[in-house]
Structure 1
Amino acid sequence: MSFLSRIMVLKSRAHFSAGARGVRYGGDGKNFEGIRKRKSKQARNRVALIMAGFMCFYCVIGGRLVVYAMKEPENTSSILPPDRLMASRPDILDRNGEVLATDIRTVSLFAEPHKIVDPDEVIEKLRTVLPDIDVKSTYSRLSSKSRFQWLRRQLTPKQQSQILALGIPGIGFRPEKRRFYPGGPTASHIIGYVNIDNRGVAGMERYIDTQGLADLASVGMTSDQPLEPVHLSIDIRVQAILRQVLVDFIDKFKAKGAGAVVLDANTGEVLAMGSAPDFDPNNPAEGGEEGWLNRMSNGTFEMGSTFKSFSLAMALDSGKSKLTDSYDARYPIRIGGFTINDLHGKHSFLTVPEIFQYSSNIGTAKMTDLVSIDYHKDFLTKLGLLTKMHTELPEVAQPTQPRVWKKVNQITISFGHGVSTTPLQTAVAGAALINGGKLIQPTFLPRTQEQADAVANQVIKPSTSKDMRWLFEWNGVKGSGRSARVEGFDVGGKTGTADKVVKGRYSREHNFNAFLAAFPMNNPKYVVLTFIDDPRTEGKTIPPLAAETAAPMVKEIIRRTAPILGVKPTFGDNGSALLVSY
């Protein structure tokens, strides 16, 4: 064997007798088997380590998901959380349980701009369902860098289904609640309305928020569960009649506005109150500023000769005058550069009932002159005519009066010029004249007689109230109140015709007519006050008087509502006559 051949044989033997690490193995193969097992164990350990790593990774992910699921939602955009969007408002009901305001479910359209590919295409499709959509502002919203934008609030179910059918990516719907007023404008100034976010803006809707609902909503403590309804004192049947009378008389006399109230004289409950023009709370924007103004509680006016009721009551209550007294009304009164005359002057001595019957400015001034200026001012303050009225309705105006009362102010205020107050508080003060002398602040919520007695203030003597009831009935039978009489219901009251101030001067071509009434006068239960602002009569330059406008409004309201209010008519002396119709 050659030298080269031996070397090759030795190398071949060395190959089969050496391990991977240069270790020699015996011929039995035991060392080779140990290495194999060791490598297999290492492989299993590596696989177990990888599996453990994956398990830890997924446990961390699962743990974070649990944390996120239990965490309170964060408001990261302008949209409110769903539960707050669906938060309920309580239903508003009238005194008989009729629904005046309730919530209905609706949806609103929103967009996620970061998911919008082509804003122009989205707008083009949306216009097929919402043709009045603002193209410029919508494009700006869809092109913004925000992640949420409202496009249209409170859609109808039909609009929602049509938009869904368009299949537009990047837009969606959020559930909301919308306030619905079944009666429309019937009681708009009492109920008020809410904004787009279902928050009270005016009327009793705003009052409900001020009682804590708004605070709860602001901290997210409201829910979508129905709340206990709020009952009002108004009777929607009486309210509907009252509003229709206002609308009819505005149209008849081409007036700027009108108002009326039906008030329970013994409890202060407002059974009905209206101001026209008005608005539909389902769409308040259409009412405009004229419709939004509640002239009954948030408008101040010189109430004219209705103030003579308070002036005569003051003179009688002071003890310085009696019903049997007479006063010289033959000549005008000249004071402070002014001349005071009577519109229907008799140019003679007048008794107190005649002063009331003929609405004598001169006689009223003479009676008012019996008391001091301070006494006069204090008396009107006691009746609540010079201070802001307290009631649930937020829209209440502050009366105006002269900064300094002089003698001329006292005289003119006695017959309704120089002080501006709200018609509602005039009616409240009128109730005190005929209910036994108790001033009871008005309420739009139910009130029992016991509750009314607890808040009542005695402002005049019961004997004075008795005299005023007699004067009201006297004027209803013989004076300007005759046009308000309703057969069987014994209506009494006092008219008031005040010249309006135009460019700083009183104008005889523009006036404000009012009538303060009560019924039935043998046992007064209700006070009714009406007014009409700047009425016109076709073909005449001189405007009509209160006896031609405001008093007939009272007649129409009482004629149609007295049976609803449960007032039984009486005919003949002491109701002895029986009216039979065949």
Structure 2
Amino acid sequence: MIRTPLRPLARILKARAQGQNPDAIEAENIRLRHEEDRDRARNRAEGRLLVMGLAFFCAFGVIGVRMAALSGSVPEEPTAQASGSPIIGQRSDIVDRNGRVLATNLDTHSLYAQIPDMIDPAKAATDLAAIFPELDAEELLKDFTGERRFLWIRREISPEQMQAVHDIGDPGLLFGPREMRLYPNGSVAAHILGGATYGREGVSSAEVVGVAGVESYYDDFLRDPANEGAPLELSIDLTVQAASERVLQGGMMLMSAKGASSVLMDVHTGEIISMVSLPDFDPNDRPRVLTAEDGAGDQSDSPLFNRAVQGVYELGSVFKIFTVAQGMELGLINANTMIDTTGPLEWGRFRIRDFHNYGPALSAEDVIVKSSNIGTARIAMMIGGERQRAFLGTLGLLEETTVEMVEAPTGDPLLPANWSEISTMTISYGHGLSSSPVHLATAYSSLLNGGYRVEPTIIRQDGPQYGDRIVSERVSATSRNMLRAVVDHGTASFGDVVGYEVGGKTGTADKPRPTGGYYEDRTIATFASVFPASDPKYVLIVTLDEPSIETLGEERRTAGWTAVPVAAEMIRRVAPLLGMRPDVETLTPTGVTLTSN
């Protein structure tokens, strides 16, 4: 830019020649220059304001257009863009029917080592072995001084252990946030809950996945963030479950049994109120599965084995009520029909005998009360194998149960390869067909609730869940009366609980040998009960594996001496917990005269 001089020589000389002041020329030039600078600055400022105005206009225009587009679009959840699937750590609680916590989450920490950052590996290995006795200092030192760069030390540690590791002061020992599954009631309902472990793991989080029971069956539900932490509500009652386990544990020890199970079911909904399998375990410290290296024989001896669901057994005479009920439903017999009990009943090389000689004939009701194998077999012959199989199928005894546990499919009933006439006779009194205690509870509930099929469930239901009709109300009521008579003056007399009108049927079955035939000194003792018999609400199944008790100078293995008193004590304990008031007859005062003053 060419600037005009403030004192141009030509004008200065001319001004002096004319007698003018040359300084006025300089002042005028300064004024003009200032005006030019001012105009130039104003133009520059106005240009900048125009540019900024245009920028703001464009920005607000874009925002307005975007807002208009969003207001006219269909709302949808935003999705996060990430490389790989994130680890979901949160897992919903599991609660009982009254909202009491059975499984929940606990915030804790994991411990790992970034080996290149360690300062004194030898001291760290020694100190860690002192804090965690299960760790070997030499193995740790070998890992710390080897080629590894990362090492998990403990998946879970307590706050006290975390502080102790802090005190070691090695920067290579680090902690990661971790969420662990906690079962605050210990072993209570262990087989129902099953347990959980870690799936995918990272230093900042870990995936908790179910490994058995409802934890595994409902794994997707429990891990689904869409549920917003809503708990899984089970049908069991924690108080009843704990009481049942305590009574059954005592009964198993008293009867010297190797195992035991019980199932308490609501006959109208199919809800399992309590389910016990012994021996059990603590899901907080779930034992590992037995292997051949452990010298494991029968997996059913493992505490992980759920005898109530997975255990399929020949359950014995508890099946007899099904035979008699079907005979009554078909109109072949009634409660008073006399049945030939002359024995033994021969079929080829097989002979069917009764435990006692009951004479030449018994009424159908007494066949149940006295538990006659011969009488039941003769009724089954009247029914026929095809109709018998169809009826047992409607009761759910020929297929796996629908209870919501991953173990259910492994409890598939064992049926005869050929449903022959001899099979029809033996199945009528509970031999030749193996099923689980849950199968039996379901069948008894369906027969005795008025005759409607129910499905077993571990999830809380609202109101009765009736399916197809199995038998008429009349046959259902008559069957309940027969079972009440069994307890009143039959083989289950030890099962009577004052005020609760217990009905039931005993079953004692010899255990089959793996090589064929049956043991003579090993039995499965079962008591299938219903209470109250006149207005049924619950079915209770108690099964003892190889029970034996010395009574009156003899060794007793039958259900009447073993399973029945255990079930009676269980009913005595849990009935009040279920809100059932004993129905006790009020005695009328005698010898008292009312007088007035």
TM-score by length of 1: 0.80
- 1:476 to 2:487 alignment: yes
- Which residue identity does 1:368 align to in structure 2? A
Give the distance between the partners of 2:320 and 2:252, measured in 1 at CA.
Answer: 26
- 1:151 to 2:140 alignment: no
Instruction: Give the deviation of 1:463 after TM superposition.
Output: 2.0
- 1:571 to 2:584 alignment: yes
- 1:381 to 2:383 alignment: no
- Which residue pairs with 1:208 in the alignment? 218
Bigger CA drift: 125-134 or 255-264?
Answer: 125-134
What is the DSSP-based 3-state SS (H/G/I as helix, E as strand, rest coil) of the residue aligned with 2:478? helix
What is the DSSP-based 3-state SS (H/G/I as helix, E as strand, rest coil) of the residue aligned with 2:248? helix
- Which residue pairs with 1:257 in the alignment? 259
CA 137–209 in structure 1, closer or farther in 2 if over 3 Å, else same: farther
What is the DSSP-based 3-state SS (H/G/I as helix, E as strand, rest coil) of the residue aligned with 2:188? helix
Match of 2:368 among 346, 356, 364: 356
- 1:369 to 2:381 alignment: yes
- Which residue pairs with 1:558 in the alignment? 571
CA 153–578 in structure 1, closer or farther in 2 if over 3 Å, else same: farther
Gaps of 5+ in 2: 1-79, 200-207, 291-298, 590-597
Match of 1:114 among 116, 129, 134: 116
What is the DSSP-based 3-state SS (H/G/I as helix, E as strand, rest coil) of the residue aligned with 2:484? helix
Identity %: 35
- Which residue identity does 2:423 align to in structure 1? N
Instruction: Give the deviation of 1:543 after TM superposition.
Output: 4.0
- Which residue identity does 2:533 align to in structure 1? M
- Which residue identity does 1:148 align to in structure 2? F
Q: Is the 8 A contact 1:279 1:286 kept in 2?
A: no
> Once superposed, what is the RMSD of the aligned Cα atoms?
2.3
Q: Is the 8 A contact 1:296 1:423 kept in 2?
A: yes
Bigger CA drift: 542-551 or 97-106?
Answer: 542-551
Match of 1:448 among 438, 444, 462: 462
- Which residue pairs with 1:319 in the alignment? 331
Give the distance between the partners of 1:510 and 1:541, measured in 2 at CA.
Answer: 16
Give the distance between the partners of 1:542 and 1:254, measured in 2 at CA.
Answer: 11
Q: Is the 8 A contact 2:193 2:215 kept in 1?
A: yes
- Which residue pairs with 2:241 in the alignment? 239
Instruction: Give the deviation of 1:577 after TM superposition.
Output: 4.5
Give the distance between the partners of 1:491 and 1:577, measured in 2 at CA.
Answer: 21
CA 448–73 in structure 1, closer or farther in 2 if over 3 Å, else same: closer
Bigger CA drift: 395-404 or 282-291?
Answer: 282-291
Count of aligned pairs between the two proteins: 488
Q: Please give the per-residue CA displacement for 1:123-147, whole angstroms capped at 9, x wherever unaligned.
A: 1221221232134653454345454
Match of 2:96 among 94, 97, 109: 94
- Which residue pairs with 1:172 in the alignment? 174
Aligned pairs for 1:175-574 (under 5 A) are 175-197=177-199, 198-211=208-221, 213=222, 222=225, 227-285=229-287, 290-396=302-408, 397-449=411-463, 452-453=465-466, 456-502=467-513, 503-538=515-550, 542-572=555-585
- Which residue identity does 2:568 align to in structure 1? K
- Which residue pairs with 2:6 in the alignment? none
What is the DSSP-based 3-state SS (H/G/I as helix, E as strand, rest coil) of the residue aligned with 1:282? helix
Instruction: Give the deviation of 1:345 after TM superposition.
Output: 2.4
What is the DSSP-based 3-state SS (H/G/I as helix, E as strand, rest coil) of the residue aligned with 1:528? strand
Q: Is the 8 A contact 1:509 1:542 kept in 2?
A: no
Give the distance between the partners of 1:423 and 1:244, measured in 2 at CA.
Answer: 19
Give the distance between the partners of 2:220 and 2:440, measured in 1 at CA.
Answer: 26
Give the distance between the partners of 1:538 and 1:366, measured in 2 at CA.
Answer: 34
- Which residue identity does 2:418 align to in structure 1? V
- Which residue identity does 1:568 align to in structure 2? R
- 1:142 to 2:144 alignment: yes
What is the DSSP-based 3-state SS (H/G/I as helix, E as strand, rest coil) of the residue aligned with 1:443? coil
Bigger CA drift: 421-430 or 135-144?
Answer: 135-144
Q: Please give the per-residue CA displacement for 1:431-477, whole angstroms capped at 9, x wherever unaligned.
A: 11110111111111111225x13xx2212222221211111111121
Q: Please give the per-residue CA displacement for 1:249-300, whole angstroms capped at 9, x wherever unaligned.
A: 1111221101111110111111111010000111111896621111001110
Instruction: Give the deviation of 1:207 after TM superposition.
Output: 2.0
Q: Is the 8 A contact 1:297 1:395 kept in 2?
A: yes
Q: Is the 8 A contact 1:357 1:478 kept in 2?
A: yes
Instruction: Give the deviation of 1:549 after TM superposition.
Output: 1.1
Give the distance between the partners of 2:480 and 2:266, measured in 1 at CA.
Answer: 16
Gaps of 5+ in 1: 1-70, 217-221
Q: Is the 8 A contact 2:128 2:137 kept in 1?
A: no
Q: Please give the per-residue CA displacement for 1:155-210, whole angstroms capped at 9, x wherever unaligned.
A: 01101000011111212000101111111111111111101442111111112214
Instruction: Give the deviation of 1:578 after TM superposition.
Output: 7.8
What is the DSSP-based 3-state SS (H/G/I as helix, E as strand, rest coil) of the residue aligned with 1:227? coil
Give the distance between the partners of 1:306 and 1:439, measured in 2 at CA.
Answer: 18
Give the distance between the partners of 1:578 and 1:388, measured in 2 at CA.
Answer: 52
Instruction: Give the deviation of 1:336 after TM superposition.
Output: 3.1
CA 195–302 in structure 1, closer or farther in 2 if over 3 Å, else same: same
Q: Is the 8 A contact 2:327 2:333 kept in 1?
A: yes
Give the distance between the partners of 1:405 and 1:142, measured in 2 at CA.
Answer: 66
Give the distance between the partners of 1:227 and 1:354, measured in 2 at CA.
Answer: 55
Q: Please give the per-residue CA displacement for 1:314-334, whole angstroms capped at 9, x wherever unaligned.
A: 211122111121111122111
Bigger CA drift: 525-534 or 467-476?
Answer: 467-476
Q: Is the 8 A contact 2:120 2:170 kept in 1?
A: no
Q: Is the 8 A contact 1:258 1:530 kept in 2?
A: yes
Give the distance between the partners of 2:400 and 2:129, measured in 1 at CA.
Answer: 50
Q: Please give the per-residue CA displacement for 1:220-266, whole angstroms capped at 9, x wherever unaligned.
A: xx59x971112111111111111011110111122110111111011
Q: Please give the per-residue CA displacement for 1:360-405, whole angstroms capped at 9, x wherever unaligned.
A: 0000000000022111111111111011111212211101011111
- Which residue pairs with 1:43 in the alignment? none
- Which residue identity does 1:332 align to in structure 2? P
- Which residue identity does 1:199 align to in structure 2? V
Aligned pairs for 1:17-32 (under 5 A) are none
Q: Is the 8 A contact 1:185 1:278 kept in 2?
A: yes
Q: Is the 8 A contact 1:493 1:517 kept in 2?
A: yes
CA 558–461 in structure 1, closer or farther in 2 if over 3 Å, else same: same
- Which residue identity does 1:553 align to in structure 2? V
Give the distance between the partners of 1:363 and 1:560, measured in 2 at CA.
Answer: 35
- Which residue identity does 1:206 align to in structure 2? S
Give the distance between the partners of 2:180 and 2:145, measured in 1 at CA.
Answer: 29
Bigger CA drift: 116-125 or 335-344?
Answer: 116-125
CA 578–439 in structure 1, closer or farther in 2 if over 3 Å, else same: farther
CA 493–435 in structure 1, closer or farther in 2 if over 3 Å, else same: same
